[in-house]
Structure formats: structure tokens, C-alpha cells
A and B are shown apart, each in its own frame.
Chain A
Amino acid sequence: MRILWLQRALLGLIAVASLYASIHNLVSTYALGSIADDPVADWEQRFVPLKERLPFVRGVIGYISDSDVPGVIFNAPNDEGEYILSQYALAPIIIVKGTDQEWNVANLSPEGFKLWSAANAGSYDVQPLGRGLYLLHRLRN
């Protein structure tokens, strides 16, 4: 008889706890932000001018961000996330880290761009695209 009540108590606990957790989880999803927000789509929008100016629709381009510029303070997880989002936005173009390609994209803070351009003056044709994005075309030496 005792085991029966233990079983019933356990079933009751599962029912109450599951309902509570489901309600709590539903409420917590509202904290994820507004339905109107789509940061990934916004990020993609940022790359539209860059895609329009590239002379090809497939291939490989270089990519640099603040983490590639010595002396710039950066947030490592954000920097990594932006790199991944940039690849997502630029598909089917492959991005590789560095500026060894003929065409490169720079995703830099104002300070990062200042330091990078001081160190690389005359090596690239730089097209500012707004919101910290630059298209870099390697100049022939």
C-alpha cells in the first residue's frame, strides 16, 4: 500500500513539475527578444553592398577583423561570431582569414581600421561600405 502511495506521489510530482516547467519555459522564450528583430538578417543586409561590388559570385576572399590588428582590444566570442556570420552572409563565397587574397573584406571598429590602414598604407584599394565594413582590393606591386 505504501508503494502505491509513493507511486501516486511521484506521478503527481511529475505532473506538477512538468506543467510548471512548461509554463516557465514558455514565459522565458519572450525574453529572447522581439519577433520583429532578426540580427542575422540584419548582418546579412550589411554585406549586400559588398557582394554587389565583388567582381565574382563564387570563389575565395580574405577576411580580417579587430583580432587581426595588433593593439586593438576586442571581444573574442563576438569576433568569432561575426566571422561565422560573415561566412553565412557571403555564401557561396568562401572567406578565409587574412588578407592574402586579391579581394578581402575588413570588418573593423574605427580604432581597428585606423591602426590597420596606418600599417598597410598603399597596399590595398579600400572601399568603405559603412557600418565598419571595408572592401580591400590588393594592389599589384
Chain B
Amino acid sequence: MGAMLIFVPAIISGTLLAHILWPDRSFWSVLFKVFLGIGLGLGLRSLLYFLYLLAFPGSNAFIYVEGTALLALLAIAATRELRRPRPDWNHALPSKPTRIQGIVLAIGSLVCILSLLATANYLLRRRQGDWDAWMMYNRAARFIYFDQAHWLGSFSPEMSPIFHADYPLLLASDIVAGWELLGRDSAAVPMVQSALFAIACAGLLGSSLGAVKSLGQAALGITLLWGVPVFVNEGARQMADVPLAFFILATGVLFFLYATNRQRGLLVLAGIAVGLGAWTKNEGTVLVVGAVASVLLAFVRRDSWTALLTFAAGLAVPLAVVIYFKLFLAPSGDILLGASGGLAAKLADVSRHTLIIQYLWNEFTAFGSWGIWGISIGILPILAVYYLVFRSSIAQNVRAAYLAGLAMLGIQVVGYYAAYLVSPYDLAWHLSYSSTRIVAQVFPLILFLTLAASREAEQVLTRVPSAIPE
């Protein structure tokens, strides 16, 4: 129980920050901010703990730092709320679901409950996580926690590169913050952290589809996301792929909301999400490139350079921490080390290109297979068919959002391709070990963009399509 409670202040802080930057009061946006707040809160606590360690290692006083941050955010949010007119709750609450919406919601809820139970089962049977968890994230957390006063030794060049001491510290630093608050190292902290990111990812997808489409589309989104076993299990493995998927999804959705609302706070939040993505995994660096390119392509022409500056305001602090970590603490990464040796030969090696394309194609066709009737068709071809059958016209004001989302996805895939191309490892092994997980990182955003561009589920299922409430 204690391991759950220690996450509450961070989640409240994240939600408050999201509300301060985007003070919309509608039901779906409040729900969206709660799920966004989970990831933002955990990520920002990780950053804060890292900075605290740099300044006061071994002082065991983080509870005061986190408490102060929470109180400050609470005071700002309360002051701003008091100055605003009283909310019209009738407008803020969603309309009563129709019968069809109720059925779609019931199916989504059932899938959600089954997948939550599967997540709990997985976590309880793999208390310390899977291979990468105890090789990288939980190992790094133990190094920092067990010898806080000398925590910089965690990045010693003497440690084998196999342990990836160069990896950003979002998960590890957040785990240590949790252990410090709890007063002991407990496997329950990374377990809860893993579950929280999985829940936040599903909740963020559902609430954002609810905000931009309908209740039925929100339930369908959750059904599709958590009806895919490989994604559900990934969320219980205590690894960084689902947290990164969360930040990629959050960035895409915030761009989407900004395209329609033009509220600058949404771009600041997108910048924070991108920075936290870079603080989660090395692949997050590609997200920075993709997101900056997306802002330039989609919003600068429309809204002038202030769009980029606003986005940069959110990105600045997390990215500065990542750059500091990479420049002054982290040893050289395996991919970069590998890239420096025989780069030209690798780039020109046709067999490497062929193997990468073959693996990526296999992932496209088989990732997220439901595994029924012996058919191994994955979720992505099904989504492609779904889009062709359900596609709706895209309004002028959201075209920039799709451009931003697709540019981000495209650059992310190019980044993965380049990393494989220069990989120092046996390429077949590297691909087989990680290709499913990299698809998991972009799957929620692909799902969001597909469902946002499609007709609502309830519109198709209702006898009189025009009678559906929005």
C-alpha cells in the first residue's frame, strides 16, 4: 500500500501542472489531464530527484523538496481557479451514454479489467521485472540508492557497456525517489511504476479520443490497445518501452489538441512530454528531433515562430538535464561506439538493409496478433483496413495535427532504422531482441491517429446515425 501512496504526490503535481498550462474544464480534458499527470508527474519527479541528488547527495530530504513543489503547484492552481468564473457543471459533464455507447463501453471495460488482471498477474510473477529491467533500470536504481553519497560511481567507465550505464534515468531516478520516500528498497515501487505507466497510456488514449471524437471511440481505442496481449505484457515488464510510448502518444495528442484549440499551454506540455521522452530512453532523442520537425512543419507556418518558442519553453529544462547527463555523467553508449567503427561499410552493406526491412515488415504484419484461429495477422494491417473502411473527411483545422503526428512517426521509424544499421551487435539478434518493443513504442500514437481520422464506432452501430450525441 505504501508503495502506491508514494506515487500520489507526483501524480497530483503532474495533473496540477497540466491544468495550470491548459485550464480547460470539460469532462474529457480533465480526465485527459489526470492521465497525462501520471506520466508527467513521475517524469518530473525523476528530473527533480536527479537535480536534488546533484546538489544534496545522501541528505535524505527529498520529501521536503517534493512537498514544496506540490504545495507551490497547488497554490498556483487554486489562485487561478478562484479568479475564474464558477464552472458550469452541466456543460462540463458528458452527456448520458446511448445504449450503443453503453455496449461499446462495456466491452472496453471488460477488456480493461481482464488486461489489468493480466498486468497484476505478470507483475506478481516477475517481481523484479524482466531482463532489461534488472540489467538497466532497476540495477541503476540500486546503484544510486545503496550508495547515495557516491552515486556518481554508478556511471563508472569500468562497468561493462552491456549494463547501459549511459541510459537516461527517468525510471531509475523515479524508483530511487520512491524508495527514499518509502524508507526502504522495495520491489513494489518499480512494480507500481510499471503499472502506472501502462494505465496512464491506456487512459491517455481513451480520454484523448473521448475529447476529440466520442465516448464510443474512446472505448474502442482502449479495446484495441489493451486487447493486444503483447502491449499489455510489455506494460508489466518494468521496462522503458511503455513509458516512452506514453510520452510519444502524449506529444502527438497535445499537438492534435493544439491544432484545434491553439492554446499555447498545450505546446508547452508537448515540449515537456518530449523532454521526458528523451529522459526515458535513448530512442527518446529521436522523439526530440521528430517533434521539433513536426512543430516546424505543422505549426510555424501557421502560427509563426512563437509556436516553436512556446514548444521550446517546455522542452528546455528536461532536455538540458538530458544533455548534462549525457555530456558529463554517462559513459559512451553502445550504439554510438558501434557507429564509430566501420560506419561506411555498415551503411553500404546491402544485407544489413535487407535484414532490417525484413524484420520491420514482419513486425508490421504480425505485431500485436490476437492469436486466434491460428491466424497471425497483426494489429497494424487490421488498423490499415479499419482506416480504409471507416475513414472520414479530415477538417482543415486538424490537418496540421495529422501532419505533425505522421512526421513524428516517420522520423521515429527512420531513427530506429539508423540505429539498427550501425548497431555493434549481431544484427539478427539485435532485431529479434528489440523490434517488437520499438513497434510497441509507436503503436498507441498510430492507434490514436487512426481512430481520430475515422468515423465514430457508435455512428456505425446506431440505426439512425444522425441521432448520436457528440
A interface residues, Cβ below 8 angstroms from B: 3-4, 6-8, 10-11, 14-15, 17-26, 28-30, 32-35, 37-38, 40-41, 57-58, 60, 81, 84-85, 87-88, 91-92, 94, 96-97
Contacts and interface: CB of A to CB of B under 8 A. Distances in A.
A26 B121 contact: yes
Contact of B389 (A6, A32, A88, A94): A6
Classify the secondary structure of A's interface with B.
Answer: helix
Contacts of B125: 29, 32-35, 37
Classify the secondary structure of B's interface with A.
Answer: helix
Contacts of A22: 110-111, 114-115, 118, 226-227, 229, 232
A29 B227 contact: no
Contacts of B162: 84
Given A20-B372, A25-B118, A57-B147, A94 B386 contact: no
B147 A88 contact: no
Given A58-B153, A87-B135, 6 more contacts: A14-B224, A18-B226, A19-B110, A21-B371, A58-B147, A87-B163
Q: Which of A7, A10, A25, A33 has the most CB of B within 10 A?
A: A25
A3 B187 CA distance: 51
A38 to B, nearest CB: 5
Given A22-B227, A29-B121, A38 B128 contact: yes
Q: Which of B138, B226, B370 has the most CB of A within 10 A?
A: B370
Interface residues of B, number: 54
Contacts of A60: 156, 158
Interface string B218-239: 0010011011110011000000
A63 B110 CA distance: 49
B62 to A, nearest CB: 19
5 contacts: A15-B223, A17-B227, A25-B232, A32-B125, A37-B125
A85 B163 CA distance: 11
B460 A32 contact: no
A8 to B, nearest CB: 6
A58 B115 CA distance: 41
B380 interface: no
B305 interface: no
B139 A88 contact: yes
B93 interface: no
Contact of A32 (B121, B150, B160, B370): B121
Contacts of A15: 107, 223
Closest 7 A/B residue pairs (Cβ): A18-B227, A25-B229, A29-B121, A22-B114, A40-B128, A91-B142, A32-B125
Contacts of B361: none
B226 A91 contact: no
A7 B370 contact: no
A96 B118 contact: no
A91 B158 CA distance: 14
A97 B460 contact: no
